[in-house]
């Protein structure tokens, strides 16, 4: 755009220069014509004033001078006209050349401008495309964040309600157990002989016995402890309430889910959060001692996985012991099969050895036949008795082998 303006300015400057020259030349012509006209008028006035004073010769000289001036004026006019025509042609040619050059430069500039505009539009389109893609990703991320916030709110609502909180712990416990223990070795919402319903019970062989797992953990006081705005005085009663709630929960589990002759001598209290499990073991060791004395074992999701893995190993070992007589029978049958295999292998080895001897004898006979053909060809014959002795020696070697 700047180059186009420069070219237009240059063209306007040249045209203005040409117009100035034309105006100056016109002024010069006008001045000459005015000077000649004034001189002519002065001569005519002088001639009319002094006509009576001049004689015929002087009049004739003046007439000749007037004609000469008139002729000079006419020639000057012709010269000026010719000069103007030549100069006009020269100016026209220069203007045409300048116009042509300007047009070519304008075309080149237009091409360059079009290329740059095209490249700029392409880059702009790419940039807008990238921006649209990024906006789409941002929208998707925003939707996910909105869904996550909704899920967090739902989780908070679940953890606030006692029944929903118990269901949440049961669902988490069920997911862990179903991934490790076979279906026939556990039961959810199992009713015991004391009419108490256990969240889950594991059917394990003796001496472990059936172990009950409770998934309803009291979270109200712990959620109050998470408030960082509390002072030390405000935190102490909440900590005491947290101790009391867990102590009562431990005692309830021991009273409800430990039944001699029906369940194991202990039960498990499932804590659905690793943070709570770590908090109890770090800052409330007296609760851990109380649970151990009551034979109530605290387990988190991580430790629960270890317990379930051990239980699966116990179940596998018990199943192996039950099938021990079958394993022994299969081992006996396998030993008989191996004995028959050994006998058949020995027979096959003997056959292979005999075949090896036969192959050696055939090879020895082929060598003798080859030597005999060679002797016949060279006319070199041995004594038949020596040949018989060689045959006897070969037979003895074969028998020894």
Give pLDDT tens digits for 311-366: 888 888 877 777 777 777 777 888 888 888 888 888 888 888 888 888 888 888 88
Residue 245 corresponds to which tokens in the numbers above?
A: 């709630």
Q: Is 250 exposed, middle or buried (CB count within 10 Å of its CB: 0-12, 13-18, 19+)?
A: buried
Strand-by-strand arrangement of the 197-202 sheet = 186-191, 197-202, 211-214, 267-270, 296-299
Global pTM reads 0.43
**8 Å CB contact between 242 and 142:** no
**8 Å CB contact between 113 and 121:** no
pLDDT of res. 54: 46
Contacts of 177 (CB under 8 A, 6+ apart): 186, 200, 202, 308
Contacts of 326 (CB under 8 A, 6+ apart): none
Contacts of 320 (CB under 8 A, 6+ apart): 327
What is the rounded average pLDDT of the residues 255-284? 88
**8 Å CB contact between 215 and 304:** no
Residue 196 corresponds to which tokens in the numbers above?
A: 């108490």
pLDDT > 90: percent of the chain:
6
Least confident segment among 15-24, 33-42, 84-93, 132-141: 15-24
**8 Å CB contact between 269 and 253:** yes
Contacts of 296 (CB under 8 A, 6+ apart): 250, 253, 254, 266, 267, 268, 269
pLDDT of res. 158: 45
Residue 182 corresponds to which tokens in the numbers above?
A: 């076979």
Give residue-wise pLDDT tens across range 275-293: 888 888 888 889 999 999 9
pLDDT of res. 279: 86
Could you tell me the residue ranges of all domains in the chain?
2-127, 166-322, 344-400
Q: How many C-beta atoms surround the C-beta of residue 14 within 10 A?
A: 16
Highest mean predicted confidence (pLDDT) among 137-146, 178-187, 224-233: 178-187
pLDDT of res. 390: 56
Contacts of 295 (CB under 8 A, 6+ apart): 254, 258, 265, 266, 267
Q: How many C-beta atoms surround the C-beta of residue 304 within 10 A?
A: 21
Higher pLDDT, 78 or 6: 78
Cα 349 to the center of its chain, rounded Å:
64
| 3-state secondary structure labels for all residues of the chain | CHHHHHHHHHHHHHHHHHHHHHHHHHHHHHHHHHHHHHHHHHHHHHHHHCCCCCCHHHHHHHHHHHHHHHHHHHHHHHHHHHHHHHHHHHHHHHHHHHHHHHHHHHHHHHHHHHHHHHHHHHHHHHHHHHHHHHHHHHHHHHHHHHHHHHHHHHHHHHHHCHHHHHHHHHHHHHHHHHCCCCHHHEEEEEECCCCCEEEEEECCCCCCCCEEEECCCCCHHHHHHCCCCCCHHHHHHHHHHHHHHHHHHHHHHHHHHCCCCCCCCCEEEECCCHHHHHHHHHHCHHHHHHHHHCCEEEECHHHHHHHHHHHHHHHHHHHHHHCHHHHHHHHHHHHHHHHHHHHHHHHHHHHHHHHHHHHHHHHHHHHHHHHHHHHHHHCCCCCHHHHHHHHHHHHHHHHHC
- Name beta bridge partners: 393: none
Residue 209 has pLDDT above 90, yes or no: no
pLDDT of res. 286: 92
Least confident segment among 109-113, 227-231, 364-368: 227-231
Residue 11 has pLDDT above 80, yes or no: no
- From CA 285, how far away is CA 288, in angstroms rounded? 5
Which residue is listed with tokens 């998470």? Answer: 226
């Amino acid at each position: 755009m700047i180059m186009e303006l420069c070219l237009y300015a240059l063209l306007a400057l040249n045209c203005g220069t040409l117009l100035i020259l034309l105006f100056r030349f016109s002024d010069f012509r006008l001045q000459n014509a005015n000077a000649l006209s004034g001189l002519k008028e002065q001569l005519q006035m002088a001639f009319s004033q002094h006509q009576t004073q001049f004689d015929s010769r002087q009049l004739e000289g003046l007439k000749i001078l007037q004609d000469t001036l008139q002729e000079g004026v006419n020639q000057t006019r012709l010269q000026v006209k010719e000069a103007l025509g030549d100069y006009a042609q020269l100016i026209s040619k220069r203007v045409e050349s300048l116009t042509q050059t300007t047009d070519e430069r304008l075309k080149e500039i237009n091409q360059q401008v079009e290329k740059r505009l095209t490249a700029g539009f392409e880059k702009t389109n790419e940039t807008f495309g990238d921006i649209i893609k990024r906006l789409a990703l941002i929208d998707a991320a925003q939707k996910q964040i909105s869904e996550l916030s909704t899920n967090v709110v739902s989780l908070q609502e679940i953890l606030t309600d006692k029944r929903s909180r118990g269901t949440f712990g049961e669902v988490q416990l069920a997911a862990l157990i179903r991934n490790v223990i076979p279906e026939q070795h556990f039961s959810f919402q199992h009713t015991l002989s004391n009419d108490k319903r256990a969240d889950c019970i594991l059917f394990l062989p003796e001496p472990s016995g059936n172990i009950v797992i409770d998934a309803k953990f009291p979270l109200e006081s712990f959620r109050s402890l998470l408030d960082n705005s509390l002072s030390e005085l405000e935190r102490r009663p909440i900590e005491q309430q947290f101790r009391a709630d867990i102590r009562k929960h431990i005692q309830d589990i021991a009273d409800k889910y430990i039944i001699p002759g029906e369940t194991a001598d202990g039960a498990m209290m499932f804590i659905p959060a690793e943070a709570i499990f770590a908090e109890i073991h770090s800052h409330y060791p007296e609760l851990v001692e109380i649970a151990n004395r009551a034979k109530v074992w605290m387990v988190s999701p991580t430790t629960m996985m270890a317990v379930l893995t051990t239980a699966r190993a116990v179940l596998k070992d018990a199943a192996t012991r039950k099938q021990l007589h079958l394993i022994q029978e299969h081992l006996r049958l396998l030993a008989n099969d191996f004995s028959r295999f050994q006998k058949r292998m020995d027979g096959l080895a003997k056959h292979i050895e005999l075949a090896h001897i036969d192959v050696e004898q055939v090879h020895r006979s082929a060598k003798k036949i080859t030597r005999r053909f060679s002797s016949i060809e060279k006319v070199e014959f041995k004594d038949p008795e020596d040949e018989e002795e060689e045959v006897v020696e070969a037979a003895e070697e074969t028998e020894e082998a």
